[in-house]
């Protein structure tokens, strides 16, 4: 006769249990593992585990010369590769006090903004896919392809360009570059209306995102949430406005600030930023001055001993590069303040008390790129 074991009966509704979201999960956009503590369907707390794609880029920088570091920064936030390159180039140029030709500044600003649009397009399509709309993915990638074709024609590669060098550019822009960019702006102004019809106005999407995942201005500042995610909470943190580099001080653009700080506001920030980026490009594309595409640089770059810091506005927030030089041709220490790492730190605070299905939408609206978190 079988022995009957009486297990203690637990109240399932009060019991907390943990599930692993990731590292292989389509909505984490990479190898990120979130250990989510759940009570029923409600998220009680959340713990991100980083390091699955850690490549030691900061350590690798210590053995590379300054021009060689550029190609490593491509591989951090690969969706804003040009902007990462820009940060290191500005750091070296400011340390050596090199005057960069005006043509280079114009071209760099245009390409940075094109990169920002391409990044936000990919964010839009993956956000739509996270919410369950697969059609968005095809429309977003179709339009991003136009920018990638411009990049491929001018610099030879689609994702990891290594186009900027300290002092200038690798080569001059393609003769068709200006014509193609103007054609793209005209094309995308029409297509972005489809984005609004398809997803922004969609009632199901609005009901799932409005009022969900609230982040206050104070919390955004204390967690260091920058970029569109921080500006959605009303935190004025646009480096292009506050510490202009390139030719951002000569163009007329708005820093878009939100008030509500929920998931839908973060969505709208990026949609409006695409319009602003197109405005910046339109003001600059016809006025690229003639001149050299690179300044005269020494064969071996040696930074004077000291500490240097440079920040730029990447497409996900503020990217800072901190460098200690001991006067050699390689840096003594290199540190990247990546925007995604700080944005991820606020995820636990934002997602407490929401449903597990909304966690996917919140993660999509923070728009993290995992190689930038782990570096």
Partner 1 sequence: MNSIFEYFADIFHTVKSLLTGMKVTGRYFFSPGEIVTQQYPENRKTLKMYDRFKGEVIMPHNEHNEHRCTGCGICETACPNGSIEVLQAKIDMPDGKKKRIIDKHIYHLGMCTFCGLCIKSCPSDALAWGQEFEHAVFDRSKLNKTLNQPGSSIIKDIVE
Question: Which residues lie near partner 1 (CB under 8 A)?
Answer: 64, 67-68, 70-72, 135, 142, 145, 152-157, 160, 162, 165, 170-171, 174, 194, 197-199, 201-204
**Smallest separation, CB 114 to partner 1 (Å):** 16
Closest to partner 1 by CB, 143 or 372: 143
**Smallest separation, CB 154 to partner 1 (Å):** 7
Closest to partner 1 by CB, 118 or 359: 118
Closest to partner 1 by CB, 194 or 326: 194
**Smallest separation, CB 329 to partner 1 (Å):** 11
d(Cα 4, Cα 320) in Å, to the nearest integer? 64
**Smallest separation, CB 139 to partner 1 (Å):** 8
Nearest CA to 313 among 372, 264, 242?
Answer: 242
**Smallest separation, CB 325 to partner 1 (Å):** 18
Closest to partner 1 by CB, 121 or 165: 165
Closest to partner 1 by CB, 15 or 196: 196
Phi, psi dihedrals of residue 203, rounded to the nearest 5°: -70, -35
* 219 burial via Cβ count (<10 Å: 0-12, 13-18, 19+): middle
Q: CB–CB of 264/202 below 8 Å?
A: no
| DSSP tag of 200 | I
Closest to partner 1 by CB, 152 or 219: 152
**Smallest separation, CB 97 to partner 1 (Å):** 23
DSSP three-state, residue 46: strand
Q: Measured between alpha carbons, how far is residue 10 from residues 7, 48, 75, 222 in Å? A: 9, 28, 49, 39
**Smallest separation, CB 61 to partner 1 (Å):** 10
H helical segments located in the chain? 57-61, 66-73, 81-96, 102-130, 134-155, 177-195, 203-209, 217-223, 227-231, 239-242, 263-285, 339-345, 347-350, 356-366, 370-374
**Smallest separation, CB 71 to partner 1 (Å):** 4
Closest to partner 1 by CB, 174 or 352: 174
Closest to partner 1 by CB, 198 or 295: 198
Nearest CA to 86 among 371, 313, 364?
Answer: 313
Helix 177-195 / helix 263-285 crossing angle, nearest 10 deg: 150
Quote the radius of gyration of the chain (alpha carbons, Å): 22
Q: CB–CB of 368/335 below 8 Å?
A: no
Q: For residue 23, say if its preceding peptide bond is cis, omega within 30 degrees of 0.
A: yes
Ramachandran bin of 322, using left for φ above 0, alpha for ψ from -120 to 50, beta for the remaining angles = beta
**Smallest separation, CB 167 to partner 1 (Å):** 12
């Amino acid at each position: 006769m079988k022995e009957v074991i009486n297990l203690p009966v637990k109240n399932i509704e009060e019991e907390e249990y943990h599930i692993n979201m990731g590292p292989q999960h389509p909505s984490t956009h990479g190898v990120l593992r979130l250990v989510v503590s759940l009570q029923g369907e409600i998220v009680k707390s959340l713990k991100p585990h980083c390091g699955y794609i850690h490549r030691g880029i900061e350590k690798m920088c210590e053995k590379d010369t300054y021009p060689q570091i550029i190609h490593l920064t491509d591989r951090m936030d690969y969706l804003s590769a040009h902007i990462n390159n820009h940060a290191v180039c500005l750091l070296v140029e400011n340390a050596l006090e090199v005057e960069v030709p005006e043509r280079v500044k114009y071209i760099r600003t245009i390409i940075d903004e094109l990169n920002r649009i391409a990044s936000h397009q990919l964010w839009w399509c993956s956000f739509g896919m996270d919410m369950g709309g697969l059609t968005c993915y095809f429309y977003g990638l179709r339009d991003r392809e136009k920018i990638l074709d411009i990049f491929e024609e001018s610099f030879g590669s689609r994702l990891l360009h290594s186009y900027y060098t300290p002092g200038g550019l690798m080569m001059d822009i393609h003769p068709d570059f200006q014509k193609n960019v103007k054609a793209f702006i005209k094309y995308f102004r029409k297509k972005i209306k489809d984005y609004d019809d398809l997803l922004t106005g969609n009632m199901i999407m609005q009901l799932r995102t409005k009022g969900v995942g609230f982040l206050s201005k104070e919390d955004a500042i204390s967690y260091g949430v920058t970029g569109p995610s921080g500006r959605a909470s009303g935190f004025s943190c646009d480096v292009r406005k506050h510490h202009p580099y390139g030719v951002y001080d000569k163009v007329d653009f708005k820093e878009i600030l939100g008030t509500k700080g929920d998931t839908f506001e973060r969505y709208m920030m990026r949609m409006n930023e695409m319009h602003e980026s197109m405005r910046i490009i339109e003001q600059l594309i016809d006025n690229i001055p003639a001149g050299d595409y690179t300044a005269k640089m020494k064969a071996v770059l040696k930074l004077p001993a000291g500490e240097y810091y440079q920040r730029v506005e990447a497409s996900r927030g503020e990217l800072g590069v901190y460098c200690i030089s001991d006067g050699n041709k390689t840096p003594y220490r290199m540190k990247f303040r990546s925007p995604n790492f700080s944005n991820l730190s606020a995820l636990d605070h934002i997602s407490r008390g929401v449903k597990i299905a909304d966690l996917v939408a919140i993660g999509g609206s923070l728009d993290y790129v995992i190689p930038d978190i782990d570096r």
